[in-house]
Amino acid sequence: MTAPPHAAWLVDLDGTLYAPLPVKLLMGLSVLCFGLRHAKLLRQFRREHEVLRETMTESVEDPFALQLARTAEKLGRPTDEVERVVRTWMLERPLPFVRRFRRAALLNEIERYRAGGGKTALVSDYPARGKLAALGAERLFDVVVASGEPGGPGRLKPWPDGYLKAAEALGIAPSECLVIGDRADADGLAASQAGMTFRHVAAQERRSAGRTVTRSAHTPQPHKQRP
Ligand SMILES: [Mg+2]
C-alpha cells in the first residue's frame, strides 16, 4: 500500500533544483580566473551563513541583510560593497551554470504534481527570483519564501520558519507537507522541527527511466539538540 500523497510540496532551491557539484566547481574556477580579489569576501559570507544557521535564536526582518552586515563588519568593508560582490558572484554569475545543470526530472515531477492539484512552495535561505527565472521555474510555485526577498523567513534553516511560513501561506497543515531538499542537516532538520516529512535529494544522484532517484522519504533524527 502506498502512502497518501502530500497536499503540498515545499522545495529547497540551491543544490536541489540544480546539481550543486558542477556549479560549485565552475564558479570556483570563475572566481579563480576572474574574481580572485573577491575570494576572501565570498568565503567569509558563506562562513557567516553557517554561523547564523547555528547561532541565531531571534527572528529578524531579513537574515540575508544580517549576513551581509556581519560579513562587512568582519572584513571592515562597506556593506553596500559586500552586497554588490555577493550579488554578482553568488546570485548573477552562477545563473548560466544553474540553468545548464538544472534537475529537469525533478522540475518535471513538480510540474506534474502541481498539474494534478498539488500545492507548491519554494523555500530558500538566499534570494531566489533570479535562479528561478534561469531554471524556467517561476510558474512552478504558488508561494516563494526566500531570504533577502519580501516575505522571506525570519530565521535560516534548520529553523523551521521558512517551511512553516510557506505552509501557512498555502493554507496546508504541516503534517500534510513534504519537504524536498538536499541538506539533511538544514532542510531535513527544519522539516522535522516543523512536523513535516522529508525527501532527500542527494548531491550525486542516479537517473532511472527519466525519473530522479532520491533516497526514500524519511524524517531525519538530529545528531544533537538543535532549535
Ligand atoms: Mg540546498
Q: How far is the centre of ligand 1, averaged over its atoms, from the C-alpha of 1 (Å)?
A: 31
Q: Which residues neighbour 76 within 8 Å (Cβ) at sequence distance 6 or greater?
A: none
Q: How far is the centre of ligand 1, averaged over its atoms, from the C-alpha of 157 (Å)?
A: 10
Confidence of residue 1 (pLDDT cuts 50, 70, 90): very low
Q: How far is the centre of ligand 1, averaged over its atoms, from the C-alpha of 31 (Å)?
A: 21
Q: How far is the centre of ligand 1, averaged over its atoms, from the C-alpha of 38 (Å)?
A: 23
pLDDT higher than threshold 60 for residue 210: no
Q: How far is the centre of ligand 1, averaged over its atoms, from the C-alpha of 14 (Å)?
A: 4
Q: How far is the centre of ligand 1, averaged over its atoms, from the C-alpha of 117 (Å)?
A: 25
**Domains identified in the chain and CATH numbers:** 8-19+101-212 (3.40.50.1000), 22-96 (no CATH)
Q: Which residues neighbour 138 within 8 Å (Cβ) at sequence distance 6 or greater?
A: 129, 132
pLDDT, residue 112, reads 97
Confidence of residue 52 (pLDDT cuts 50, 70, 90): very high
pLDDT, residue 5, reads 79
pLDDT higher than threshold 80 for residue 119: yes
Pairing of strands 119-124, 8-11: parallel
Which strands form 177-181's sheet, in the order they lie side by side? 143-146, 119-124, 8-11, 177-181, 197-200
Q: How far is the centre of ligand 1, averaged over its atoms, from the C-alpha of 81 (Å)?
A: 26
Task: Judge whether 49 and 157 are in contact, CB under 8 Å.
Answer: no
Mean pLDDT, the chain, rounded, equals 90
Other CB atoms within 10 Å distance of the CB of residue 216 = 6
**Average pLDDT value for residue range 169-187:** 97
DSSP annotation of 205 reads -
Q: How far is the centre of ligand 1, averaged over its atoms, from the C-alpha of 150 (Å)?
A: 20
Q: How far is the centre of ligand 1, averaged over its atoms, from the C-alpha of 27 (Å)?
A: 16
Give this prediction's pTM.
0.88
pLDDT higher than threshold 90 for residue 20: yes
In DSSP notation, 144-192 reads EEETTSTT--SS-TTSSHHHHHHHHHHT--GGGEEEEES-IIIIIHHHH
Confidence of residue 4 (pLDDT cuts 50, 70, 90): low
Q: How far is the centre of ligand 1, averaged over its atoms, from the C-alpha of 3 (Å)?
A: 25
**Average pLDDT value for residue range 125-133:** 97
pLDDT, residue 2, reads 52
**Average pLDDT value for residue range 37-55:** 95
pLDDT higher than threshold 50 for residue 24: yes
Q: How far is the centre of ligand 1, averaged over its atoms, from the C-alpha of 15 (Å)?
A: 5
pLDDT, residue 121, reads 98
- Residue 203 has which C-alpha cell? 548531491
Q: How far is the centre of ligand 1, averaged over its atoms, from the C-alpha of 200 (Å)?
A: 10
